[in-house]
Structure 1
């Protein structure tokens, strides 16, 4: 059943973990609607909680990959010295001492170029006056690839791959969420079926007890053989046993639903709230288009194909020769004092520059060509996988539609069976009162009615199971229950666990 409202998973967590409505004392019945069961399963399912961390972990990889554009600053100092003789066999020794203090900032640009700004300082202190000086130098250098490695697509390939992995992780989470929602619906309707069967057993027992009471009165009045009383006693005993088994089945299915939902209440869960309509309207064409657009498994495969096609483009670029233009320019100063040397640098009278080309190409280039061939083959495989999965999705939708039609037809047939059983029971009860039907006949007809009601209950539950499979095949099971959740919301849920 579709809902107009859109619920975020954070709201679901708040509703079910904070509000006290879902809690009750032991033994008190807890009403729970289908929408509540699905949202609670998504909010508390332990397997889904584990899967929730994957998109958040993938998001950290995006940040890590983007770090290639972070500027890098470095500072280096060095003090070195040397003592040496100016003339062989002479006692005179010259002494030189040098001190370097260098600061640089470099960064990778989106074009693939590397740029660097350096400020270097050389201080010399030697024996002679000419060896006492300060030499600062300010320079800018760059290297820009012209073929292999050129462009933002190639430079930031790690970021693109990480972003795709992030989307893929979110799609895988939604695949798991669809499975959990389907399990919650199946468990909910299984409990509905069990409780309806329990009511059928109670109704059967009530009929048997009423028949037995009437038989006792008629036997005492001498208008009915005592053997009929034995038949009615057996009928009551058998239906009491059937009711006990039905009650145990309700408890079993309640426990299964409670475990699936991780429900904190101690009382029995009672399905309530508005149930889905008896029949949903659909169009095979629209359903197939919806499946191709919304199914998260298809989304994950499409993201994988996008990554593989991207890798093929990158590999094609990296197979090109390495050709880069390099250049540098700067100013330098020289003086006996550091302050004067800075003035000399600022005057711009002693500039320097360089520009050049560098070329490299491995003969044969086998590694790059093998990478390119592998990437192209993987992309072709991905396209084939999508075609196969799209065909499977369309087949699954058609199969689900046929299954719904069959199951709905079973509801119509079982309804006629119940109507027939009720009419026959009413007829045999009247005939029994005038001696035209035995107690055994009446109990057999009542058992047929109970079986018809069970068949109707099973048909309704089977139809809802078919509806669940239909919405899973179209990928809109969460939206049917008013739940929309994107990758950022999933990541927020994971980070919330760390607080």
Structure 2
């Protein structure tokens, strides 16, 4: 064992860190598996786990670390899933959420230790005497103990010790003796019982459950946020693409009109109209290019990547977004609200906190009772020179009763009143939370339905705009349409395409938000999806509400079984 290890125990600091991580992460994995059937191991951010890039091999570096080290200079092809992976790897918010969950588990390991067998060992040694050298002596001792707190509140302590003593000046040998003892302390009134004694452990266990729920809810919300950012960047690029198409068309029209004007077949006014719209389109291109650059920079910062890196996006992401409304068309508001209240993780935690406040009120009320504690101890010391020779008849025993009368209860009284008021407030918070969930679910369903109607309108508008452009071009060839007719039709086409892309994205995000509000959205290594079992349950509830007198199988109702095509990697 190295000298540094002697100062820190049997394990070095890195070994102790690994043991702490092993115990805490195992608790997190166990809770995630119990609550969500999650089998992927939970891990701390790499920097938190090992304090820096230099401590890890290159294959374990984050993408940001690879970019800063010059290993790569481009990231892609990006979609929602890969963007989510990168953001989760580099995001400070994600790291903080992971660390908070880890700390909840770490706290639980200590609270479990507090209620387990606690071992202790120590040693002492001293020498002393007079300055003239007479009467000098030396002694050394060693002791070990084990403590256990029971659910009833009883504390059991068992100890064993050994001591050696000698007078150095006389040259005599060492005198040895040892002792063993057991003591038990049991509260009978105040502070007794499992409710009071095990509350720290119980609350720590529940806090870990709350942490797992909160982290899972965060992951789902964060996934929707990432999807929104990816789609908005692609929307900006799509607007730039549409404007470039519009500019190319205007450039062709301007050149054609200039040629016709030089030949005297078209007035200068119509030629200038095309040229003016071409300049306006060129100015929009500059503005839109700046908007794309700003969005890309903001997205890089969100992903935690250096601004110098190039981003490559997967083709066809926006075109692959689904546009099915069968689910929302048949979704009843009342059924949706009831389903959300039954499955929302934050609703479960809010309800459980009412139970926590109820227990705290009972515990503080218990502190108003009389304190009555009984204790007993048995101790035996060996004769000098015979450290292992214990005689049962020579053992000492003691018994005691400690009575604590409630004479001045002002601190306990105030603590109880605070707990009572906190309980009432926690109940109000829960009721208010249910109201807020009802509002947000209804609003999410309303926005999903409205955004789908807007998408349908804009999709039809694109169809009409395309037909209008084709018609004006044919009419111009026949001499029945002016340049202004062509310019107006092309501008309407550009606006319709931009509006259709925006409406498609709005509907997709509204649908994801609705699934998030219903708590049927899931995030795993394959991306964002809808949990099939919950989708089936929701379908059965809708069928039961629509056909109360029939079996659910007699009245099938469509429900989502997967996320929009690009969002899921399945």
The answer as to whether partners of 2:153 and 2:197 remain within 8 angstroms in 1 is: yes
User: In the alignment, which of 149, 174, 177 is matched to residue 109 of structure 1?
Assistant: 149
Q: 1:145 to 1:171 in 2, by over 3 A?
A: same
Judge which range, 425-434 or 106-115, deviates more. 106-115
Structure 1 equivalent of residue 368 of structure 2: 319
1:45 matched to 2:91 = yes
1:20-50 CA-partner distances (Å, limit 9, x unpaired): 9999976x79431122222322222123323
| TM superposition shift of 1:482 | 3.5
Asked which structure has the greater CA Rg, the reply is: 1
Q: Are the counterparts in 2 of residues 29 and 267 from structure 1 also a CA contact under 8 Å? A: yes
User: How far has the Cα of 1:403 moved from its partner?
Assistant: 0.6
The answer for unaligned runs of 5 or more in structure 2 is 1-37, 47-58, 130-134, 167-174, 530-570
Question: 1:138 touches 1:332 (CA, 8 Å); kept in 2?
Answer: yes
1:413 to partner: Cα distance: 1.1
Aligned to 2:506: 462
Q: How do residues 36-75 of structure 1 correspond to structure 2 at under 5 angstroms?
A: 36-69=82-115, 70-73=118-121
Mapping of residues 318-397 of structure 1, within 5 Å: 318-329=367-378, 331=380, 338-339=385-386, 343=389, 345-346=390-391, 348-355=392-399, 357-363=401-407, 365-397=409-441
Could you tell me which residue of structure 2 aligns to residue 130 of structure 1?
Answer: none
Measured against aligned partners, the alpha-carbon deviations of 1:132-165 in whole angstroms (never above 9, x if no partner) come to x998764433221222222344223333333344
**SS state of the match for residue 141, structure 1?**
strand
Greater CA drift, 254-263 or 69-78: 69-78
Listed one character per residue, the Cα deviations across residues 78-113 of structure 1 (whole Å, up to 9, x for unaligned) are 9999xxxxxxxxxxxxx9x99997856352422322
**Which structure exhibits the higher relative contact order, with contacts defined as CA atoms closer than 8 Å and separated by 6 or more residues?**
1
Deviations 1:209-249 (A, max 9, x none): 33234334444554333433222222322222223332332
Match of 2:297 among 234, 249, 255: 255
Match of 1:210 in 2: 252
TM-fit CA distance, 1:400? 0.7
8 Å Cα contact 1:185-1:468 kept in structure 2: no
Correspondence 1:199 to 2:262: no
Mapped to 1, the partners of 2:75 and 2:165 lie a distance apart of: 90
Using the TM superposition, name which of 206-215 and 172-181 deviates more: 172-181
**Residue from 279, 302, 307 that aligns with 2:324:** 279
Specify which of 271, 275, 281 is matched with residue 229 of structure 1: 271
**3-state DSSP class of the match of 1:71?**
strand
Who is 2:545 aligned against? none
Return the alpha-carbon distance in structure 1 between the equivalents of residues 45 and 79 of structure 2.
14
CA contact (8 A) 1:147 1:320 kept: yes
Query: What are the Cα deviations for residues 186-231 of structure 1, in whole angstroms up to 9, with x where unaligned?
Result: 2211122112212221222232233234334444554333433222
Tell me the secondary structure at the aligned position of residue 406 of structure 2. Answer: coil
Q: Report which stretch shifted further, 229-238 or 133-142.
A: 133-142
Aligned Cα root-mean-square deviation (Å):
4.2
439-448 or 70-79: bigger deviation: 70-79
Partner of 1:266: 309
Distance 2:377 2:64 in 1: 67
Q: How many corresponding residue pairs?
A: 454
1:149 aligns to what SS in structure 2? coil
Q: Is the 8 A contact 1:6 1:482 kept in 2?
A: no
- Residue of structure 2 in register with 1:87 after alignment: none
Q: Where does residue 17 of structure 1 map in the other structure? A: 62
Deviation, structure 1 residue 405 = 0.7
Contact kept in structure 2, 1:140 and 1:328, CA below 8 Å: yes
Q: Partner of 1:496 in structure 2?
A: none
Aligned-partner SS, 1:418: helix
TM-score norm. by structure 2 comes to 0.67
- 1:436 is displaced (CA, Å) by 1.6
TM-score, length-normalised on structure 1?
Answer: 0.75
Query: Deviation per CA, 1:466-496, whole angstroms, max 9, x where unpaired?
Result: 2343244334555387369xxxxxxxxxxxx
Alignment of 1:410-429 (within 5 A): 410-429=454-473
Distance 1:233 1:212 in 2: 5
Tell me how far 1:342 sits from its aligned partner.
Answer: 6.0
- Once residues 444 and 468 of structure 1 are traced to their aligned partners in structure 2, the CA distance between those partners, rounded to angstroms, is 36
Q: Give deviations 1:318-355, integer Å, cap 9, x for gaps.
A: 33322233223455666xx633x965x43x34455444
